[in-house]
C-alpha cells in the first residue's frame, strides 16, 4: 500500500535521476524506447491475458486496439526523434544586431505523472509513456484500479524493463491518485472524464504544473447520417465501432442523428450489421467485451428500462458475465437527457431530423460542450468538409469512424471539455518538451540603439532606425 511518504520518495528519486542529465541524451531515449518496444513484444501474451480478464477482450481485439498501437507509436517516435529533438537555429533579426544567432532547445519538463484509464489500459499508459520518454522525462504511471489485471501486468512489464528511478507504476484507487497529485510534478498527462479532469487541473494549479488532458467529452460524440449517405456502409462501420470494447471508448459514437427520410432503412441496415458481426444476442458471444464494473451494467439496465418502448434492437444483458448488448433506442429527441451526456457504454440513441433542417442539428451540437470526435456520413463532400472545418471538436471522419487516430504524423487531442494538449508521434514529443529560446550575443559592434538617451536628436535617430527595422 502506498502512503504519501512513499509516493514522495518515488518522486524525489526520479527527480534526482533526472538531474543527472542522462535523459537529455537523445541516444539514451532511443535506447529506452527500443527497450519498451521489445518488452511489449516479449510480454504480449501476458498483456492480452490481462485485457481478457479485465474487459473480456479477445486476443485479436486486444492486439488490434491496445497492444499493437503501442508498437506503432514507438516505431513512429524512433523514426523521427532525432529530427524532432534537434535544436532549431534562427536568424535573430536586425533588431538584435550584431547578435544574429538564436537557438531553440527542446527541453524535457522533468518528472512526469501519467494517469491512465481502464478502457485501454495498455495503450493509454504505454503510448503516453513513449511520448514522455521521447521528450526526455522520467515517469510515474498511475494506472486504473478498475483494470486490476492490466495494472499487475504493467507493473511487471515496467519493473522488468526500467529502474524505478526512471519509470515506475503506482497502483491504487482515487486516494493514491490524490497522493500523486499532492506532489510537485513537472508535467501531468491525464486521460479520463471531464469531472475528474477539473480536480486534476485544480491540484496541478497549486504548483503551476503543465497539464495535458484527453477526455471523452461532457456531452458525447455525434454521428450525423444524411439521406444521401451510403446507408449500408455507414451501418457496417457504426456497428463495428459500437461493438468495439462494448462502447467503452472515448472517441466512440454517443448518439446518431439520422435523416428521418432514411431512418427506417438505416435502422434495418444497422440491426443487420450487428447480427452479422456479433449475433442477435451479443452478450452470449464469447468474443464480445464485458463492461468494466457491475455499476456500469446497472446504468445500462436502468436507462434501457426507461426507454424500453423505444428499444428497436438489443436491450438484453447477462449480469453474471457483466455484458450488455448493443442497444439502439429510437426515436429520441435532441433535447432528451440521454443525449446530453457521455454514455460510455453500448447504448446508442438515434435522433431523427429532417434532412433539409440539418443545420438545426449542427446548431445544437455547436451549443453543447465540444466533443472529442465527430462523424458524418454523406455523399456531399463539399458540405461535409464545410461542417468538419467549422465545428469545434477533437478530431473525426467523413464516411468513416475512429481510424483518424491511427494516422501517423497527426495529433490526437480534444478541446474544451474534451481535453487540452495533444499527442501521438511528434505531437507527443512536443507535449512533453518545452521550447527554450537562447540568443547568442556578440561582444563587438554592439549598437547603442537600446540605450539612453531616448530624447533629442539621438532619440529621433533611434526612432527612425526602429521603424526601418520593423519592415
Residues belonging to the active site: 214, 250
Cβ burial, residue 195 (10 Å; 0-12/13-18/19+): exposed
In this structure, are residues 318 and 282 in contact, taking their beta carbons and an 8 Å threshold? no
* Spatial separation of the C-alpha atoms in residues 70 and 406, rounded to whole Å: 11
Q: Is 349 helix (H, G, I), strand (E, B) or coil?
A: strand
C-alpha triplet 33, 39, 45: angle, nearest 5° = 145
Residue 281 DSSP label: -
Rounded Cα–Cα distance for residues 403 and 394 (Å): 13
Long-range interactions of 21-25: CB distance < 8 A, separation 24+: 23/108, 23/136, 23/137, 23/138, 23/166, 24/108, 24/136
C-beta separation of 118 from 344 below 8 A = no
Query: If DSSP codes are grouped into helix, strand and coil, which group holds residue 384?
Result: helix
Amino acid at each position: 500500500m502506498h502512503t504519501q511518504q512513499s509516493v514522495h520518495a518515488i518522486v524525489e528519486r526520479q527527480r534526482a535521476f533526472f538531474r543527472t542529465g542522462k535523459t537529455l541524451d537523445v541516444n539514451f531515449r532511443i535506447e529506452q524506447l527500443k527497450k519498451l518496444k521489445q518488452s511489449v513484444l516479449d510480454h504480449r501474451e501476458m498483456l492480452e491475458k490481462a485485457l481478457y480478464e479485465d474487459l473480456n477482450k479477445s486476443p485479436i481485439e486486444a492486439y488490434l486496439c491496445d497492444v499493437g498501437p503501442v508498437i506503432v507509436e514507438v516505431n513512429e517516435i524512433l523514426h523521427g526523434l532525432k529530427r524532432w529533438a534537434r535544436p532549431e537555429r534562427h536568424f535573430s533579426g536586425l533588431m538584435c544586431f550584431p547578435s544574429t544567432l538564436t537557438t531553440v532547445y527542446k527541453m524535457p519538463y522533468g518528472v512526469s505523472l501519467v494517469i491512465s484509464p481502464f478502457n485501454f489500459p495498455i495503450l493509454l499508459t504505454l503510448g503516453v509513456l513513449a511520448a514522455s520518454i521521447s521528450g526526455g522525462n522520467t515517469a510515474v504511471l498511475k494506472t486504473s484500479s478498475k483494470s486490476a489485471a492490466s495494472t499487475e501486468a504493467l507493473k511487471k512489464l515496467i519493473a522488468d524493463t526500467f529502474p524505478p528511478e526512471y519509470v515506475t507504476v503506482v497502483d491504487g484507487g482515487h486516494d493514491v491518485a490524490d497522493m500523486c497529485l499532492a506532489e510537485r510534478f513537472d508535467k501531468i498527462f491525464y486521460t479520463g472524464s471531464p469531472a475528474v479532469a477539473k480536480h486534476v487541473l485544480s491540484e496541478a494549479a497549486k504548483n503551476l504544473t503543465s497539464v495535458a488532458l484527453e477526455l471523452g467529452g461532457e456531452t458525447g460524440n455525434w454521428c450525423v447520417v444524411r439521406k444521401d449517405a451510403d446507408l449500408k456502409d455507414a451501418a457496417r462501420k457504426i456497428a463495428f465501432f459500437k461493438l468495439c470494447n462494448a462502447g467503452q471508448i472515448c472517441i466512440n459514437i454517443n448518439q446518431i442523428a439520422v435523416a428521418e427520410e432514411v431512418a427506417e432503412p438505416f435502422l434495418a441496415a444497422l440491426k443487420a450489421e450487428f447480427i452479422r458481426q456479433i449475433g442477435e444476442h451479443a452478450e452470449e458471444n464469447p468474443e464480445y467485451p464485458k463492461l468494466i464494473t457491475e455499476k456500469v451494467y446497472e446504468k445500462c439496465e436502468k436507462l434501457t428500462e426507461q426507454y424500453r418502448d423505444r428499444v428497436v434492437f438489443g436491450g438484453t444483458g447477462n449480469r453474471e458475465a457483466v455484458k450488455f448488448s448493443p442497444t439502439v433506442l429510437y426515436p429520441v429527441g435532441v433535447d432528451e437527457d440521454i443525449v446530453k451526456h457521455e454514455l460510455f457504454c453500448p447504448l446508442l440513441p438515434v435522433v431523427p431530423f429532417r434532412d433539409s433542417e440539418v443545420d438545426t442539428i449542427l446548431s445544437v451540437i455547436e451549443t453543447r460542450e465540444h466533443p472529442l470526435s465527430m462523424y458524418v456520413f454523406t455523399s456531399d463532400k463539399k458540405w461535409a468538409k464545410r461542417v468538419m472545418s467549422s465545428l469545434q471538436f477533437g478530431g473525426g471522419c467523413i464516411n468513416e469512424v475512429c481510424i483518424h487516430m491511427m494516422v501517423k504524423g497527426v495529433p490526437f487531442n480534444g478541446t474544451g471539455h474534451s481535453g487540452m494538449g495533444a499527442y501521438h508521434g511528434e505531437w507527443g514529443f512536443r507535449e512533453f518538451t518545452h521550447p527554450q529560446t537562447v540568443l547568442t550575443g556578440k561582444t563587438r559592434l554592439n549598437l547603442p540603439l537600446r540605450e539612453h538617451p531616448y530624447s533629442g536628436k539621438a532619440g529621433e535617430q533611434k526612432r527612425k532606425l526602429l521603424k526601418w527595422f520593423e519592415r
